[in-house]
């Protein structure tokens, strides 16, 4: 096999890995948007806090001394619990009082919450990066067509797929999922049908935050330097992925995430790494201007 | 209304901006002789922040279009103005002319940027528009970061500033102060008069109900683009003043956080109140310098953004209209009473000048 | 009444994701006419209005206003052709004063520029006084002058509906489209309103297209009635003809018994 072809396959693999992380976080944006029509700016900080929760859990239990699947799961659980609690708190304290306020006010609040978490984290954790516990050794598992497939890539891909599969099951095959769908189609009517909308919104934050938590642990393993600003860029990118796929659409968020991950990897590989972060904004603007409903969303029409 | 009456009102509206500028320059004289260099710099930043807040308020408060990229327009003005001031063609001009005009050039550059951003993105509403303006702001920043002609990531250093106008008896600081107060008065007067004209009500109608406005023959897209361009122009003016008073520019200065700073000012002061923007800009400039900085020296922790973000959240939950809502200084009963008393005093002085103007305060600001 | 056609719709159709809300809607509105567009709830009346006024772009057919095809025109451009409307679910500029609401609608005829405003040029004062005076005069005709400075949202419901009509008139239209102007009013208010509509039509020499859900209201004042059901015209003619049309009776019987009893 030619070297260039092998390189391409390697980039393809990296892109899908990166993309599944974007997808995990994008799902949180899209779920909250689907139900509250709110861009939850604080989602990226929930993600960041997940990484720190896992970091401190790992450190206090000395988990990097005992790497393995169990340690990995402990980190996951710690991050999920922390993010869920944080997500719930944000919803309860900041968003719920504004449920009936103009959208602009809620948006400003969301920005406020995001900044508050970001800067509080800088004060509490310190601004300098921390080293995430290495609980899974990154070995080359096997080589297909001269492409190295490494433990972490496989883990990220598997866990990501598992989480998204679980979400799909939750949304389409459980009562909670059905209620969520009902609320996202029409909240007031759903509440007339006896659905406790507040409770569904809380669950939405729990599920969305948990997915971000999973994402944060996976990122921590793959790129072990974590810092309080780590959520900002990845948050914007995940949001772009959500918009790209059509905000409010779950399959759209997954597709958008993978697409963005792949295109970033390809831009870095074949053009220049300086354009890496501009790419997301470029895609965002093009999508919003030409197809604001995204790839899989349906356009909304204002009622006159 | 007769032509003569209209001409009378026109003549009466003329002097007040000049009087306010003159009064501000006198204030500058006092500040120069009574405070240290640091405080003097802070006062200059107040002018910049007033201009930035008032200009953003036109777009967000009055026209109802939420923009997260105001720092981007400020950056365009700052960089363009700084770049021009290095050019030999410009350095040949007399100091007074050069530094009074530079803000206009920065403003024009920013206005063009505002037009480019505004035209395509204003079809979007609400949070989508917010995200796109955020994106454009970041793109402007990244572009500056990668433009070697303006220093790239290193930024621009030793930006020329006025050397004072000795022939007029003005020291370098007072000259700078005069330029800043002149442009602040121009900004506030222009924005105020636009909004307090019938045609300015068009911006408000877009904020209130776009569909109804269109049905009444209002060109909504044009109104939004105009608001964006005017707003960007003054953001550029503010950027230029910033460049020549701080004398150092780096792309990092114009990040999303800077845009949020300006948003905090208009939220705090009240969306749709220039008076609120002025007050909040003064407050938001002074508090970090004279309260938070000393506090930081004690606690060794930078609480500025934590406090700002708390202000944002708490105001949105408890008092979403900000301090003043949409009220202006002239809307308060005691101001009205005071104005009436003054105009009566004046009338007694110059007999018989009929003053049935409906908004004497609006016209005279 | 003349034969000049001010508003013409040719086979206008509007689909939402495959669902036909309006199908092959034809209309010819002659100068001075007062035509009623009626039909049960969800018949597509408001969608018709939205197509005629350019709020929606019809998926098929053409709308011609005073000889100008509106294809590709924006809503405000359609409005400036001399056709304006009111809204079923009142859409005033809520936080602005009653006077400002009317002034904004009249601004398309004002001649000062932004520069005049900023410099407070004499032209600014002359034009503002003129626009203001015209707005006040309209308010006077509709007995709203005393409330000129109140926020429009503070008016009682019936007056808000009236203000919507005043605001529409301030654009100096030739054709006015009224979308259920009597919605939510009691019998007395409704009757007054119908007189008012007849009166403004005379005084302002207007051509009126009136949407009404309740048939009996339009019977009294309209010369011609078009009945819409499921997006299609099922009947049109004089009130007397409509009253006996079996298709109309069937459409209304199936939906709203009270209305049919009343006819």
Domains and CATH numbers, chain C: 1-82+173-263 (3.40.50.300), 92-170 (no CATH)
Closest CA to A217 of A297, A135, A148: A135
Task: Judge whether residue C27 has pLDDT over 70.
Answer: yes
What was the pLDDT predicted at B353? 44
- Our CA-based measurement puts residue A106 at a distance from the nearest CA of chain C, in whole angstroms, of 20
Q: Which residues of B touch C96 (CB under 8 A)?
A: 201, 204-205, 208
- Our CA-based measurement puts residue A243 at a distance from the nearest CA of chain C, in whole angstroms, of 21
Q: What are phi and psi of C150, to 5 degrees?
A: -80, 150
Which is it for the CA torsion B229, B231, B232, B237, positive or negative?
A: positive
**How many angstroms separate the most distant Cα atoms in chain A?**
63
Strand partners, C69: C64
Task: Judge whether residue B272 has pLDDT over 60.
Answer: yes
**Is A293 among the domain residues?**
no
Q: What are phi and psi of C17, to 5 degrees?
A: 50, 50
- Our CA-based measurement puts residue B235 at a distance from the nearest CA of chain A, in whole angstroms, of 21
Q: Which of A55-69, A238-252, C63-77, C218-232 has the highest mean pLDDT?
A: C63-77
Q: Which CATH architecture has domain B15-327?
A: Orthogonal Bundle (1.10)
Please give the interface size between B and C, counted as residue pairs whose CB atoms are below 8 Å apart: 128
- Our CA-based measurement puts residue C5 at a distance from the nearest CA of chain B, in whole angstroms, of 21
Q: Which residues of C touch B204 (CB under 8 A)?
A: 93, 95-96, 100, 104
Cβ-in-10-Å burial (0-12, 13-18, 19+) of A163 comes to buried
DSSP B251: G
Closest CA to C175 of C70, C62, C80, C75: C80
What was the pLDDT predicted at B352? 47
Chain B positions touching chain A (beta carbons under 8 Å)? 64, 66, 68, 120-121, 123-124, 126-128, 130-132, 135-136, 138-139, 142, 146, 211, 257, 260, 263, 267, 301-303, 305-306, 308-313, 316-317, 320
CA distance B246 to B244: 6
Chains with at least 3 CB pairs less than 8 angstroms from chain A: B, C
Closest CA to C223 of C201, C244, C247, C203: C201
By the 8 A CB rule, do A21 and A156 touch?
yes
Lowest mean pLDDT among A199-208, B201-210, B355-364: B355-364
Lowest mean pLDDT among A185-194, A266-275, B280-289: A266-275
Task: Judge whether residue C247 has pLDDT over 50.
Answer: yes
Is any Cβ of chain B less than 8 angstroms from the Cβ of A127? no
- Our CA-based measurement puts residue A265 at a distance from the nearest CA of chain C, in whole angstroms, of 37
Tell me if residue C53 falls in helix, strand or coil.
Answer: coil
DSSP A97: G
Q: Which residues of A touch C55 (CB under 8 A)?
A: 304
CA distance C133 to A10: 74
Helices (H), ranges, chain C: 45-52, 75-80, 98-106, 114-119, 122-141, 157-170, 187-203, 215-221, 239-244, 246-255, 257-262
With an 8 Å Cβ cutoff, are B128 and A292 in contact? yes
With an 8 Å Cβ cutoff, are B209 and C93 in contact? yes
Please give the interface size between A and C, counted as residue pairs whose CB atoms are below 8 Å apart: 6
Task: Give chain C's mean pLDDT.
Answer: 88
Closest CA to C229 of C100, C73, C47: C47
What was the pLDDT predicted at C2? 62
**Is A187 among the domain residues?**
yes
By the 8 A CB rule, do A216 and A28 touch?
no
Task: Give chain A's mean pLDDT.
Answer: 87
Strand partners, C225: C36, C237
Task: Judge whether residue B361 has pLDDT over 60.
Answer: no
Q: Which residues of C touch A298 (CB under 8 A)?
A: 17
When scoring B130, B309, B319, B325 by the number of chain A Cβ atoms within 10 A, the one with the most, hence best to mutate, is B309
Closest CA to A251 of A87, A47, A34: A34
Task: Judge whether residue B218 has pLDDT over 90.
Answer: yes
With an 8 Å Cβ cutoff, are C76 and B218 in contact? yes
pLDDT digits 0-9 by tens, A12-43: 888 998 999 999 999 989 898 888 888 899 99
With an 8 Å Cβ cutoff, are B217 and C84 in contact? yes
Q: Which of residues 221-250 of B touch C (CB under 8 A)?
A: 221, 226
pLDDT digits 0-9 by tens, A137-149: 777 777 777 777 8
Number of domains making up chain A: 1
Chain C positions touching chain A (beta carbons under 8 Å)? 16-17, 46, 50, 55, 87
With an 8 Å Cβ cutoff, are A108 and B317 in contact? no
The DSSP result for B139-192, as a single string, is HHHHHHHT-GGGTGGG-B-S------BGGGTB-HHHHHHHHHHHHHHHHHHHHH
Strand partners, A142: A149
Q: Which residues of C touch A304 (CB under 8 A)?
A: 46, 50, 55, 87
Task: Judge whether residue C191 has pLDDT over 70.
Answer: yes
pLDDT digits 0-9 by tens, C115-174: 889 999 999 999 999 999 999 999 999 999 999 999 999 999 989 999 999 999 999 999
By the 8 A CB rule, do B126 and A103 touch?
yes
- Our CA-based measurement puts residue C25 at a distance from the nearest CA of chain A, in whole angstroms, of 19
Within chain B, all domains assigned CATH 1.10.3470 are found at 15-327
- Across A101-126, average pLDDT: 91
Q: Which of A122-131, B18-27, B187-196 has the highest mean pLDDT?
A: B187-196
**Is A297 among the domain residues?**
no
- Across A133-160, average pLDDT: 81
By the 8 A CB rule, do C35 and C29 touch?
yes
Nearest CB to B138: which of A94, A113, A281?
A281
- Nearest-by-CA chain C residue for A300: C16
Tell me if residue B12 falls in helix, strand or coil.
Answer: helix
**CA of C237: how far to CAs of A220, C36, C247, C248, in Å?**
75, 10, 13, 11
What was the pLDDT predicted at A297? 64
Q: Which of residues 325-354 of B touch C (CB under 8 A)?
A: 326
pLDDT digits 0-9 by tens, B98-114: 899 999 999 999 999 99
Closest CA to C123 of A262, B10, A221, A249: B10
What was the pLDDT predicted at B278? 96
Tell me if residue B315 falls in helix, strand or coil.
Answer: helix
Please give the interface size between A and B, counted as residue pairs whose CB atoms are below 8 Å apart: 99
Task: Judge whether residue C45 has pLDDT over 50.
Answer: yes
Lowest mean pLDDT among A79-93, B78-92, B314-328: B314-328
**CA of A267: how far to CAs of A264, A270, B346, in Å?**
5, 5, 71
Residue C175 binned pLDDT confidence (cut-offs 50, 70, 90):
very high
What was the pLDDT predicted at B363? 38
Task: Judge whether residue A245 has pLDDT over 90.
Answer: no
With an 8 Å Cβ cutoff, are A304 and C87 in contact? yes
Task: Judge whether residue B1 has pLDDT over 80.
Answer: no
The radius of gyration computed from the CA coordinates of chain A, to the nearest angstrom, equals 19
With an 8 Å Cβ cutoff, are B218 and C104 in contact? yes
Chains with at least 3 CB pairs less than 8 angstroms from chain B: A, C
Is any Cβ of chain B less than 8 angstroms from the Cβ of A104? yes
In terms of pTM, does the model score above 0.95? no
**More confidently predicted of A44 and B162:** A44
With an 8 Å Cβ cutoff, are C126 and B10 in contact? no
With an 8 Å Cβ cutoff, are B198 and C91 in contact? no
With an 8 Å Cβ cutoff, are A278 and B142 in contact? yes
What was the pLDDT predicted at A290? 79
Which is it for the CA torsion A68, A74, A78, A80, positive or negative?
A: positive
What was the pLDDT predicted at B365? 40
Is any Cβ of chain C less than 8 angstroms from the Cβ of A301? yes
With an 8 Å Cβ cutoff, are C46 and A304 in contact? yes
Tell me if residue B272 falls in helix, strand or coil.
Answer: coil
Closest CA to B295 of B304, B286, B308: B304
With an 8 Å Cβ cutoff, are A301 and C16 in contact? yes
**Is A1 among the domain residues?**
no
| Structural domain span for residue A221 | 29-231+244-249
* Percent of residues, chain C, with pLDDT higher than 70: 95
What was the pLDDT predicted at B358? 40
Q: Which residues of B touch C53 (CB under 8 A)?
A: 215
Task: Judge whether residue B354 has pLDDT over 70.
Answer: no
What was the pLDDT predicted at C263? 39
Which is it for the CA torsion B27, B28, B32, B35, positive or negative?
A: positive
What was the pLDDT predicted at B49? 97
> CA triplet B31, B32, B36: central angle to 5 degrees?
90
* Percent of residues, chain A, with pLDDT higher than 70: 95
By the 8 A CB rule, do C79 and C174 touch?
no
Q: Which residues of C touch A297 (CB under 8 A)?
A: none
**More confidently predicted of B275 and A194:** B275
Nearest CB to A304: which of B64, B138, B211?
B211
Task: Judge whether residue B159 has pLDDT over 60.
Answer: yes
Q: Which residues of A touch C87 (CB under 8 A)?
A: 304
- Across B317-333, average pLDDT: 86
**More confidently predicted of B280 and C39:** B280
Q: Which residues of A touch C58 (CB under 8 A)?
A: none
Tell me if residue C11 falls in helix, strand or coil.
Answer: strand
- Across A239-266, average pLDDT: 88
CA distance B282 to B295: 19
pLDDT digits 0-9 by tens, B298-310: 877 888 888 889 9
When scoring B2, B17, B198 by the number of chain C Cβ atoms within 10 A, the one with the most, hence best to mutate, is B198
Residue C253 binned pLDDT confidence (cut-offs 50, 70, 90):
low
Q: Which residues of A touch B139 (CB under 8 A)?
A: 278, 281-282, 285
pLDDT digits 0-9 by tens, C65-95: 999 999 989 999 999 999 999 999 999 999 9
Nearest CB to A94: which of B64, B306, B313?
B313
- Across C231-259, average pLDDT: 78
By the 8 A CB rule, do B275 and B329 touch?
yes
- Nearest-by-CA chain C residue for A298: C17
- Our CA-based measurement puts residue A194 at a distance from the nearest CA of chain C, in whole angstroms, of 27
What was the pLDDT predicted at B322? 85
């Amino acid at each position: 096999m030619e070297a260039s072809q092998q390189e391409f396959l390697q980039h393809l693999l990296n892109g899908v890995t990166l993309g599944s992380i974007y997808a995990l976080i994008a799902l949180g944006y899209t779920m909250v948007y689907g139900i509250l029509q709110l861009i939850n700016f604080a989602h990226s900080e929930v993600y960041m806090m997940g990484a720190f929760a896992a970091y401190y859990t790992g450190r206090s239990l000395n988990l990097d001394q005992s790497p393995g699947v169990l340690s990995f799961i402990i980190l996951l659980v710690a991050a999920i619990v922390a993010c869920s609690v944080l997500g719930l708190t944000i919803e309860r304290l900041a968003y719920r009082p504004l449920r009936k306020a103009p959208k602009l006010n809620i948006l400003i609040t969301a920005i406020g919450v995001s900044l508050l978490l970001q800067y509080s984290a800088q004060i509490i954790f310190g601004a300098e990066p921390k080293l995430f516990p290495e609980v899974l050794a990154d070995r080359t598992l096997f080589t297909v067509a001269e492409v190295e497939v490494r433990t972490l890539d496989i883990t990220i891909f598997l866990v990501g797929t598992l989480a998204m599969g679980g979400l799909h099951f939750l949304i389409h095959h459980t009562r909670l999922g059905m209620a969520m769908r009902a609320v996202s189609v029409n909240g007031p009517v759903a509440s007339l049908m006896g659905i406790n909308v507040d409770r569904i919104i809380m669950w939405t934050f729990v599920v969305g935050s948990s997915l971000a938590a999973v994402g944060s642990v996976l990122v921590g393993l793959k790129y072990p330097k974590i810092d309080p600003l780590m959520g900002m860029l990845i948050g914007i990118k995940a949001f772009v992925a959500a918009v790209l796929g059509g905000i409010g659409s779950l399959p759209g968020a997954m597709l958008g995430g993978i697409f963005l991950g792949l295109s970033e990897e390809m831009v870095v590989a074949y053009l220049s790494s300086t354009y890496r972060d501009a790419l997301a904004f470029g895609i965002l603007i093009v999508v919003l201007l030409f197809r604001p409903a995204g790839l899989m969303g349906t356009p909304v029409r204002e009622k006159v | 209304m007769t032509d003569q009456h209209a001409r009378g009102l026109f003549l009466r509206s003329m002097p007040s901006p000049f009087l306010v500028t003159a009064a501000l320059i006198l204030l500058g004289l006092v500040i120069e002789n009574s405070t240290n260099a640091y405080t003097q710099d802070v006062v200059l930043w107040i002018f910049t922040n007033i201009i930035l807040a008032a200009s953003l308020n036109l777009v967000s408060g009055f026209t109802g279009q939420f923009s997260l990229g105001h720092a981007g327009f400020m950056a365009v003005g700052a960089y363009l103005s700084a770049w021009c001031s290095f050019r030999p063609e410009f350095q040949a001009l007399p100091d007074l002319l050069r530094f009074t005009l530079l803000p206009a050039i920065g403003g024009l550059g920013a206005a063009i940027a505002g037009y480019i951003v505004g035209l395509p993105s204003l079809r979007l509403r609400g949070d989508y528009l917010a995200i796109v303006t955020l994106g454009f702001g970041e793109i402007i920043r990244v572009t500056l970061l990668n433009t070697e002609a303006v220093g790239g990531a290193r930024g621009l250093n030793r930006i020329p500033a006025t050397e004072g106008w000795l022939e007029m008896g003005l020291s370098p600081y007072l000259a700078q102060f005069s330029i800043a107060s002149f442009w602040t008065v121009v900004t506030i007067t222009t924005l105020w008069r636009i909004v307090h004209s019938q045609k300015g009500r068009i911006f408000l109608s877009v904020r209130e109900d776009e569909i109804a406005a269109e049905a009444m023959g209002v060109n909504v897209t044009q109104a939004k683009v105009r608001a964006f361009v005017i707003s960007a122009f003054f953001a550029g003016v503010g950027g230029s003043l910033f460049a020549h008073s701080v004398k150092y520019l780096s792309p990092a200065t114009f990040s999303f956080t800077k845009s949020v700073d300006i948003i905090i000012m208009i939220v705090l002061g009240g969306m749709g109140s220039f008076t609120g923007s002025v007050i909040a800009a003064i407050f938001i400039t002074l508090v970090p310098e004279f309260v938070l900085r000393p506090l930081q020296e004690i606690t060794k922790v930078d609480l500025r953004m934590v406090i700002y973000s708390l202000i944002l959240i708490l105001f949105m939950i408890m008092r979403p209209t900000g301090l003043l809502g949409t009220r202006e200084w002239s809307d308060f009963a005691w101001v009205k009473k005071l104005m009436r008393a003054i105009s009566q005093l004046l009338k007694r002085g110059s007999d018989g000048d009929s003053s049935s103007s409906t908004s004497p305060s609006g016209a005279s600001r | 009444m003349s034969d000049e056609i001010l508003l013409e719709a040719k086979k206008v159709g509007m689909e939402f994701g495959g669902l036909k809300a309006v199908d092959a809607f034809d209309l010819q509105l002659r100068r001075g006419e007062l035509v009623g567009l009626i039909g049960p709830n969800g018949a597509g009346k408001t969608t018709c209005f939205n197509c005629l006024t350019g709020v929606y772009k019809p998926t098929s057919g053409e709308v011609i206003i005073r000889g100008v095809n509106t294809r590709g025109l924006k809503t405000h451009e359609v409005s400036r052709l001399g056709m304006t409307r009111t809204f079923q679910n009142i859409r005033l500029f809520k936080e602005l004063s009653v006077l400002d609401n009317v002034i904004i609608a009249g601004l398309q005829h004002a001649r000062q520029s932004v520069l005049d405003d900023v410099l407070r040029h004499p032209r600014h004062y002359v034009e503002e006084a003129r626009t203001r005076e015209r707005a006040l005069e309209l308010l006077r005709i509709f007995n709203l002058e005393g409330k000129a400075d109140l926020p429009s949202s503070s008016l009682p419901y019936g007056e808000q509906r009236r203000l919507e009509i005043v605001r529409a008139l301030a654009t100096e239209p030739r054709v006015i489209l009224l979308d259920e102007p009597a919605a939510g009013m009691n019998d007395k208010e409704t009757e007054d309103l119908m007189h008012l509509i007849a009166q403004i039509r005379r005084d302002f020499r207007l051509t009126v297209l009136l949407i009404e859900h309740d048939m009996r209201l339009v019977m009294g004042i309209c010369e011609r009635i078009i009945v819409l059901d499921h997006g299609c015209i099922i009947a049109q003619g004089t009130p007397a003809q409509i009253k006996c049309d079996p298709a109309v009776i069937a459409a209304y019987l199936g939906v709203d018994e009270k209305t049919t009893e009343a006819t």
